[in-house]
Amino acid sequence: MPFSQQFTKYATLTTIAVLSFLPTMAGAVAEAKDYGLGATATKAYGKLPSVNNPRDILADLLGVVLSALGIIFLVQIVIAGIKWLTAQGEEEKITAAKQQIIHSIIGLVIVVSAYAIVKFVLVQTLLPVVGIESAP
C-alpha cells in the first residue's frame, strides 16, 4: 500500500475516533464545575440565566461541534500538504492537493463565519436578558 493511501487511511480513522468523542466533550461542557465565579457574577450583574436553559445547552453544543469541524479542516489541510510534498512532481497529484487545500480553507472560513454568527446572535439575545449593556 503506497504511503499516501496508508496515511489517508490512518488520518480518516483518527478523524472518526475524534468525532466519536464529541458526545463526551459535549457532556463535559454541560457539566462544567462552578468555582465560585457564579456568586461573583451574581453580585456584579444580578440574577444570571440558568445553565439548564436549552439555549445555553445548544450554544455549548454548537461551540463543541464548530470546534471539532475546525480541527477536521485543519487536519485536511495538513493531509493535503503532505500529499503535495509526496507528489514527486506529478502534476495531477499536485493539482489534487492544491484543490484539497483550497476546499479546506473555504470550509474553514465557513466554520469560522458560522461561529462568529452564532456568537453574535447569542450575545445579542443573552445580554439583554441578563441586563448587561455591552459585552465585556
- Asked if the structure places residue 135 within a domain, the reply is no
Which residues form the domain of 106? 3-130
> Residues 30, 57: contact at Cβ < 8 Å?
yes
- Alpha-helical regions (H) of the chain: 3-20, 22-30, 37-45, 54-85, 91-130
C-alpha span between 43 and 10 (Å, rounded): 51
Count structural domains, the chain: 1
Q: What is the pLDDT of residues 94-126, one digit of tens each?
A: 999 999 999 988 888 888 888 888 778 777 776
- Flag whether 50 is in a domain: yes
Q: Establish if 31 belongs to a structural domain.
A: yes
User: With bands split at pLDDT 50, 70 and 90, how would you rate the model's confidence at 130?
Assistant: low
Q: Kindly indicate the confidence band of residue 135, based on its pLDDT and cuts at 50, 70 and 90.
A: very low
Residue range 22-78, pLDDT digits in tens: 665 555 555 555 566 667 777 777 766 556 667 667 777 877 887 888 888 888 999
Q: pTM of the entire structure?
A: 0.53
Is 1 in contact with 72 (CB distance < 8 Å)? no
Within a domain: 9: yes
Contact indicator for 77, 43 with CB cutoff of 8 Å = no
Asked whether residue 8 is assigned to any structural domain, the reply reads yes
